Amino acid sequence: MNENQSSITALASAFGRAYHFENDYPKIFSDSAARSLMTEAEYQLMSGHMAGGLSFFAPEKQLEFSDPRDALKWVVQTQISPTPLARAKYCEDMLENAVKFGARQYVILGAGMDTFAYRSEGAMRAISVFEVDHLDTQIFKKQKVAEAGLHVPDNLSYVAMDLRKDDIKEELRKANFNFRQRTFFSLLGVTYYLAKEDFADLLCSISAFVPEGSSIVFDYGDEHMFDSSIRRVQNMIAIAKAGGEPMQACYSYAELEKLLENTGWLIYEQLCPTDIELRFFMNRSDYLHAFEHVNFALAVMRARGAAEK
């Protein structure tokens, strides 16, 4: 992550969720707090930039959309929102299931502008939440939360660290993480930017201290992503590179399964784009559809005996 870039990345993510909450129906994922994390000026500025991005994403459509609002809708629903919305919905559905089966801690790796802790209710307010991210992003996040007047709940802890370099166990220990308690982890929008060795090291580090039955949700690109001929996939890769955070890794299912097995995890569920389309995007009349070559996975920590064999 480059200095001063965190705010741009974080605002783009928050914008996609805010736009969906205010403009799209039916809802895939309802983030009622995202809009409050940006000022009206910031929201309008982001709207203008994204609508203007039509010349990059699909220049042939510039004559089709004479109204900037139509251009904005196309850009956001086609390029920006599909994966963040669907993976957030999948993640929080799986978190709810994990809590029913005894998880009492939620670690959000690469939290960015995630708003779960500020809008959770009922049983979700009883779990301990740890937002883990780069210090620059957390400084920006805390500033936006304060400006929005959002209540920071007592069950939330901020953990500033670099996932590639710092010791996650030590950083969580400083935040009073309970190493005996079953825990749910999320790693959304991150695996693409981690070298495969870094992702493996992170999974191995976590499996070394969490109890059996802990779980993790993440999204990842399949082995054909970098060679895809699909324009919006090419756009996604190009934008990441131009922004100074090039995508580094994609995985075949067999490769991912082996990586997880070697680091103490078992795949419990995997959703390919067809599965994601069926679960989250069916019967829509807008542009929102599952992103090609993007997959979701839920992995569970194996019994210690099984991991040691």
Assess contact for 184 and 99: CB atoms under 8 A.
yes
What is the Cα–Cα distance from 286 to 20, expressed in whole angstroms? 12
What DSSP assignment string belongs to 10-59? HHHHHHHHHHHHHH-SS-SS--TTGGGGS-HHHHHHHHHHHHHTHHHH-G
What is the Cα–Cα distance from 286 to 72, expressed in whole angstroms? 13
Domain with CATH 3.40.50.150 in the chain: 82-308
pLDDT at position 13 is: 80
pLDDT at position 245 is: 85
| pLDDT (average), residues 109-119 | 96
Encoded tokens for 144: 């936006």
pLDDT at position 306 is: 47
Kindly report, residue by residue over 27-74, the tens digit of the pLDDT: 999 999 999 999 999 899 999 999 999 999 999 999 999 899 999 999
Kindly report, residue by residue over 239-286, the tens digit of the pLDDT: 888 888 899 999 999 999 999 999 999 999 999 999 999 999 999 999
Task: Count the residues in the chain.
Answer: 309
Which value, in Å, is the radius of gyration of the alpha carbons in the chain?
Answer: 19
Kindly report, residue by residue over 123-142, the tens digit of the pLDDT: 899 999 999 999 999 999 99
pLDDT at position 243 is: 80
On the 0-12 / 13-18 / 19+ scale of CB atoms within 10 A, 171 is: middle
Q: Residue 303: which pLDDT band, with cuts at 50, 70 and 90?
A: confident
Tell me the pairing of strands 215-221 and 265-271.
Answer: unpaired
Pick from 127, 249, 138: which is nearest to 189 by CA? 249
Residues pairing with 160 in the sheet: 133
What is the Cα–Cα distance from 77 to 20, expressed in whole angstroms? 8
What is the Cα–Cα distance from 161 to 167, expressed in whole angstroms? 8
- Residues 6 or more apart whose Cβ sits within 8 Å of residue 211: 179, 180, 181, 182, 183, 301
Residues pairing with 267 in the sheet: 299
- What's domain 82-308's superfamily in CATH? Vaccinia Virus protein VP39 (3.40.50.150)
- Whole-prediction pTM value? 0.95
Is residue 3 pLDDT above 50, yes or no? no
Which residue type is seen at 87? Answer: R
What DSSP assignment string belongs to the chain? --TTTHHHHHHHHHHHHHHHHHH-SS-SS--TTGGGGS-HHHHHHHHHHHHHTHHHH-GGGTTT--SHHHHHHHHIIIIISHHHHHHHHHHHHHHHHHHHTT--EEEEET-TT--HHHH--GGGGGSEEEEEE-HHHHHHHHHHHHHHT----TTEEEEE--TTTS-HHHHHHHTT--TTS-EEEEE-S-GGGS-HHHHHHHHHHHHTTSPTT-EEEEEEEBTTGGG---HHHHHHHHHHHHTT------B-HHHHHHHHHHTTEEEEEEE-HHHHHHHHSTT-SSS--PPTTEEEEEEEEPPHHHHH-
- Residues 6 or more apart whose Cβ sits within 8 Å of residue 41: none
Encoded tokens for 273: 């784009």
